[in-house]
Amino acid sequence: MTTMPPAAPISLRDVVLDFRDLTKTYPTPTGEYVVLEKLQLQIKKQEFVSIIGHSGCGKTTLLTMIAGLNDISGGEILLNEFPITGPGPDRGVIFQSPSLLPWMTALENVQLGVEQVFPHATRRQRQDISRYYLDKVGLGSLLHRRASQLSQGMQQRVGIARAFALKPKILLLDEPFGMLDSLTRAELQDVLLEVWDKEKITAIQITHDVDEAIFLADRVIMMTSGPRAQIGDILPIDFARPRRRKDILNHPDYYGYREHLIGFLEH
Amino acid sequence: MGHPTTTTVAAAPRAALASLSRRLPRRVNMRRNLPALGRKLAISLTSMAIFLLLWQLSAGYLYGVEATARIERTTQEQGADAGAAMAACIASGDVSCKPNTLPFPREVVRAAGLLLADHRAIRTKQAEFAAETAELNAARAARGLAAITYTGRPSFVDQIGTSLKTVVVGFLISLLIAVPLGIVIGLNENLRIAFNWMIQVFKPVSPVVWLLLVFMIVKTLTLGSDTDTSFLISSISVGLCAMWATLVNTSVGVSSVNQDYLNVARVLQLGIGKKIFRVILPSAIPLIFTGMRITVSVAWMVLIAIELLAQSPGLGSFVWEEFQNGGSDSNAKIIVAMFVIGLVGFLLDRLMFMVQGRVSFEKAIG
């Protein structure tokens, strides 16, 4: 393993998400199964964080707890200093499966959330918001296509548009490109980064893909294998933004980062 | 690839291409499917021919058995001469001594022609009657009296119409009960438990028993009035018999919505009304319509039995009356009715299939 760069000190003011002794247990017939134990982590404002680890280490559990879709067994997650108790549109989720409502059009799917978040805006304003983000993800010409008639990649584009259109405080991405082929995946990573560079919404992404983690994130958080998963290592990625795939791949530090991550995962 | 503008711009033509390629295969497939269609048609026609042949052969066999038995009986009871006369009579094809058994296909076709001719005759009579009573009825109307109406026997086509009317009313009754109830049951687990025993116990009850139950209730409720309740009784019975599939499917559809969709509703914090009408119900619609399709088929199937018992006009009572008549062409007419019942049922199912395809976001399964 290469030497670890010193972690940059985080000032308390900039912390958006603060995990304090976060614990998750599932009851089983043979006693409690501890997925996460006393996990500590702080995430800064406007930071893009990738969480990487082996299957079953509790990454998705962690994400669903931030989303409020999964109960917290012990400790707490503070969002802007307030503990999370349930789901809400202030945390936009991009699920692994696009989770669009298949009977609605692309526009209607985005609108459903926008109506909820901007109840006082006029119909026109809400439409403009939805159209803006759908256009940003390259679906400007397919607004009225039913979700069930879009390809997986297209559906996930709508998912990205929907999440950003809610103007959330935090963006949660649960292996959003895991179900896509590698070409579509690269395409969507570019789309995601392009929108993200404009909005700079604090983002937490779960991934299995080492290259994806490096390309997207400011910090890569490596989790140890469960049970009793912990944070094993944190790797800051010091590439300037906006990032371009070609520049990143040719960057002299790239393979160092890559080796560090693979070394951790194979350990 | 990574340059911001290229991705957005490039996506548009790519999307157009995708929509084009999605439209193309249909036309290409039509041409490629033509031999497949021809094959299907050929197989269907062949199997129809085999069906008719088997029918013809078995009708011939049964005819022979019946004829032999008749000649033997006559010979035993009235002597050899009478037996020979009976044999000659049967051979001549006379109506008076025709063996009464499964009719030949050609007899059924002839009976269908007769029924149509009869229908035309009745229509002519109705028209004549209307012309004759037009003046009288006008005068009666002027005096505030009810018009004299034609009260003759309904034709076969009229009977089909009556049956269709009954089944449509019965279907609507079952929808009015089953869909709202199914939604409520599907949304609330306690209600689901409360209704479960009722569904399990009443679902398998025979149409005949439903008819008797409805008869008991309607008879009491209409005491004192002399309206004809047979239509009401049969359509309510049809509705009650047929509603179960829709009820069960609606509640299952509502209670088993994809967890992903529910998560979306939770993340967006949709209100209960929005959650039901924009997430749960649309996602349950394919199952609801599958249930409705089964309901229509069941409704049509039990209708015939119910009409037969309730003595309400329609195809069921037509079949029963023909069977009671025992006329020389009664059996053939019953078979005609059988084919008509089957065809109408098939058409109703196709109709529901089309509706299902329209409203559903999933592909309906034929």
B3 within a domain of the structure (yes/no): no
Domain range for residue B123?
103-153
* pLDDT above 70 for A6: no
**Same domain assignment for residues B215 and B114:** no
* Most B-contacting residue of A101, A108, A193 (CB-CB within 10 A), to test interface: A101
Q: Is B16 on the interface with A (CB under 8 A)?
A: yes
B90 and B185 part of one domain: no
B342 band by pLDDT with thresholds 50, 70 and 90: very high
Nearest chain A residue to B14 by CA distance is A138
Minimal CA separation from A9 to chain B, in Å: 32
Same domain, B78 and B223: no
**For chain B, what is the domain count?**
3
Q: What is the mean pLDDT of residues A26-32?
A: 88
Q: Does B359 touch chain A (CB under 8 A)?
A: no
- If asked whether residues B159 and B287 sit together in one domain, one would say yes
Domain annotation covers residue B77: yes
Architecture category of domain A13-96+169-266 in CATH? 3-Layer(aba) Sandwich (3.40)
* Domain membership flag for residue B220: yes
Beta carbons of B269 and A103 less than 8 Å apart: no
Per residue in A43-55, pLDDT tens? 998 999 999 988 8
pLDDT at B231 over 90: no
- In a shared domain, residues B167 and B271: yes
Q: Within this chain, do residues B47 and B36 fall inside the same structural domain, yes or no? A: yes
Q: How many CB atoms lie within 10 A of CB B64?
A: 12
Reading the block at residue B291, the tokens are 């249930």
Residue A240: per-residue pLDDT: 86
In terms of domains, do B226 and B346 share one?
A: yes
The pLDDT of residue B11 is 46
The whole-model pTM stands at 0.75
Q: Cβ contact (<8 Å) for A89 and B269?
A: yes
Query: Would residue B10 count as lying in a domain?
Result: no
The reply to whether B117 falls in a domain is yes
Distance from CA of A16 to the nearest CA of B (A): 19
Q: Classify strands A48-52 and A31-44 as parallel, antiparallel or unpaired.
A: unpaired
Same domain, B160 and B149: no
Per-residue pLDDT, averaged over B67-75, amounts to: 90
Whether A101 sits inside 8 A of B269 (CB atoms) is no
Higher pLDDT, B10 or B82: B82
pLDDT tens digits for A120-158? Answer: 889 999 999 999 999 988 888 999 998 888 998 899 999
The model's pLDDT over A52-87, given as tens digits with 9 standing for 90+, comes to 988 878 888 899 999 998 899 988 999 988 999 988
Measure the CA–CA gap between B222 and B224, rounded to whole angstroms: 6
pLDDT number for residue B4: 41
| Domain extent listing, chain A | 13-96+169-266
* Domain identity same for B339 and B232: yes
Decide if B17 touches A, using CB distance below 8 A.
no
| Residue B83 and residue B111 in one domain | no
Q: Nearest Cβ partner of A99 from B11, B263, B361?
A: B263
pLDDT of res. A7: 53
Q: Return the percentage of chain B with pLDDT > 70, whole number.
A: 89
Phi-psi map region of B72: left, alpha, beta (phi>0 left; psi -120 to 50 alpha): alpha
| Domain identity same for B214 and B316 | yes
- Mean of pLDDT over chain B: 85
- Tell me, letter by letter, the H, E, C secondary structure of chain A: CCCCCCCCCCCHHHEEEEEEEEEEEEEECCEEEEEEEEEEEEEECCCEEEEECCCCCCHHHHHHHHHCCCCCCEEEEEECCEECCCCCCCEEEECCCCCCCCCCEHHHHHHHHHHHHCCCCCHHHHHHHHHHHHHHCCCCCCCCCEHHHCCHHHHHHHHHHHHHHCCCCEEEEECCCCCCCHHHHHHHHHHHHHHHHHHCCEEEEEECCHHHHHHHCCEEEEECCCCCECEEEEEECCCCCCCCHHHHHHCCCHHHHHHHHHHHHHC
Sign for the pseudo-dihedral over CA of B343, B349, B353, B356: positive
Q: Give the pLDDT confidence of B186-214 residue by residue, as tens digits.
A: 999 999 999 999 999 998 888 889 999 99
Q: Do B267 and A146 touch (CB under 8 A)?
A: no
Among B153, B177, B193, the domain boundary falls at: B153
The answer to whether residue B53 sits within a structural domain is: yes
Cα distances (angstroms) measured from residue B294 to each of B208, B240, B243: 19, 13, 9
Q: Which is nearest to A185 in space by CA: A162, A204, A157, A165?
A: A157
pLDDT at site B5: 40
Beta pairing, strands A74-79 & A82-83: antiparallel
Nearest CB neighbour to B282, from listed A101, A149, A154: A101
* pLDDT, tens digit, 9 for 90 and up, residues A182-212: 888 888 899 899 889 888 899 999 998 899 9
Q: How confident is the model at residue B173 (pLDDT cuts 50, 70, 90)?
A: very high
Whether pLDDT at B262 is above 60 = yes
User: Is B6 inside a domain boundary?
Assistant: no
- The reply to whether B326 and B273 lie within a common domain is yes
CATH number, domain of B207, equals 1.10.3720.10
Q: Yes or no: say if A137 and A195 are a contact pair by the CB < 8 Å rule.
A: yes
- B9 located within any domain: no
Segment A54-59 long-range contacts (CB within 8 Å, at least 24 positions apart): A54/A225, A54/A265, A55/A208, A56/A225, A56/A226, A57/A223, A57/A224, A57/A225, A57/A226, A57/A229, A58/A24, A58/A223, A58/A226, A58/A229, A59/A206, A59/A223
